Amino acid sequence: MTRLSSRLAGLVSGLLLATGGGLPARAEVPVQAYEVVRAYPHDKTAFTEGLFFHDGALYESTGLYPSFIRQVQLETGEVVRQRDLPTVYFGEGMTTLNGKLYSLTWRNHIGFIWKLDDFSPLGGFSYPGEGWALTTDGRRLIMSDGTDQLRFLDPDTLAETGRVSVTADGEPLDQINELEWIDGEVFANLWQDNRIARIDPETGVVKAFIDLTALVPQDAGLDPNDDVLNGIAWDAGGKRLFVTGKRWPQLFEIKLR
């Protein structure tokens, strides 16, 4: 072989390797099955942006105007405690850490800190970009902003300490919305998508999807573009997983298989 043709041969075999010889280069993300354990009532006016379960209680934050943060009675959907945001703010995700509630706004670049006990205001913080959702690994806050990025925030300074890009099948996965930390993984809603992604927080790799299309309410009053699946809460003590959507009439406990 001449020098040129051996170089060409090397290039061709390299290309074949890179493309897997024409076969799909990566395995598809598996879709995980689930079953519905129970359905609970959910306030049809709640435009759910944040949802979590803490110490036996369910908490929810909403968007639209006025937006609010509230504690909800799981079994009845009744409001236990509520605080409205000033009407200029479109509320987004919320989480709790060390007795504090942290809540975001959509395009106001402002977050609020509240006392978990009584919802009294403790302060605020600002961030670049949009605010979509919050969860926590017990050490850091984890924030989504509508892109493929998950930001890690220091809960005391609110400074960003790192971020990871979320990928599915090697491609960036954006529109990451409501979040939930569950046993070392981040479960995430994807805006206007009926799937939840299970994300490895170290690498951003999506390990599985859960397709909840069957739970989407068929109510005539709901807008399929706005009233989308959003809201994941994990009862760590009781190992119960809750999901709902914006203005959905029900909240579901589901069990993964």
Nearest to 137 by CA among 79, 109, 98, 194: 98
Q: Which of 53, 132, 209, 234 binds ligand DDQ (CB under 6 A)?
A: 132
For residues 119 and 75, what is the distance between their CA atoms, to the nearest angstrom? 22
Tell me if 53 contacts Ca ion by CB under 5 A: no
For residues 166 and 206, what is the distance between their CA atoms, to the nearest angstrom? 7
> Which residue, 92 or 148, has its beta carbon nearer to ligand DDQ?
92
Q: Choosing among ligand DDQ, Ca ion, none, which partner's interface includes residue 191 (Cβ < 5 to 8 Å by kind)?
A: ligand DDQ
Tokens representing residue 108 in the block: 């106001």
Instruction: State the minimum distance, in angstroms, from the CB of residue 108 to ligand DDQ.
Output: 12
Tell me if 191 contacts ligand DDQ by CB under 6 A: yes
Q: Choosing among ligand DDQ, Ca ion, none, which partner's interface includes residue 232 (Cβ < 5 to 8 Å by kind)?
A: Ca ion
- Give Cβ neighbours of residue 179 (< 8 Å, ≥ 6 apart): 93, 133, 134, 135, 142, 143, 144, 150, 186, 187, 188, 189, 232
3-state secondary structure of 8: helix
Window 166-205: residues binding Ca ion (CB under 5 A)? 180
N-to-C CA span, the chain: 57
For residues 177 and 131, what is the distance between their CA atoms, to the nearest angstrom? 9
Burial status of residue 100 (CB atoms within 10 A of its CB: 0-12, 13-18, 19 or more) = middle
Instruction: State the minimum distance, in angstroms, from the CB of residue 15 to ligand DDQ.
Output: 40
For residues 221 and 199, what is the distance between their CA atoms, to the nearest angstrom? 33
> Which residue, 61 or 147, has its beta carbon nearer to Ca ion?
61
Tell me if 49 contacts ligand DDQ by CB under 6 A: yes
Instruction: State the minimum distance, in angstroms, from the CB of residue 177 to ligand DDQ.
Output: 6
Tell me if 52 contacts Ca ion by CB under 5 A: yes
Q: Which of 46, 51, 168, 199 binds Ca ion (CB under 5 A)?
A: 51
> Which residue, 63 or 77, has its beta carbon nearer to ligand DDQ?
63
- Identify whether the C-beta of residue 92 lies closer than 8 Å to the C-beta of residue 49: yes
Q: Choosing among ligand DDQ, Ca ion, none, which partner's interface includes residue 49 (Cβ < 5 to 8 Å by kind)?
A: ligand DDQ
Q: Choosing among Ca ion, ligand DDQ, none, which partner's interface includes residue 52 (Cβ < 5 to 8 Å by kind)?
A: Ca ion
Q: Choosing among ligand DDQ, Ca ion, none, which partner's interface includes residue 132 (Cβ < 5 to 8 Å by kind)?
A: ligand DDQ
Instruction: State the minimum distance, in angstroms, from the CB of residue 177 to Ca ion.
Output: 10
- Identify whether the C-beta of residue 131 lies closer than 8 Å to the C-beta of residue 89: no
For residues 177 and 183, what is the distance between their CA atoms, to the nearest angstrom? 19
List contacts with Ca ion (CB under 5 A): 51-52, 180, 232
List contacts with ligand DDQ (CB under 6 A): 49, 63, 92, 106, 132, 146, 177, 191, 226
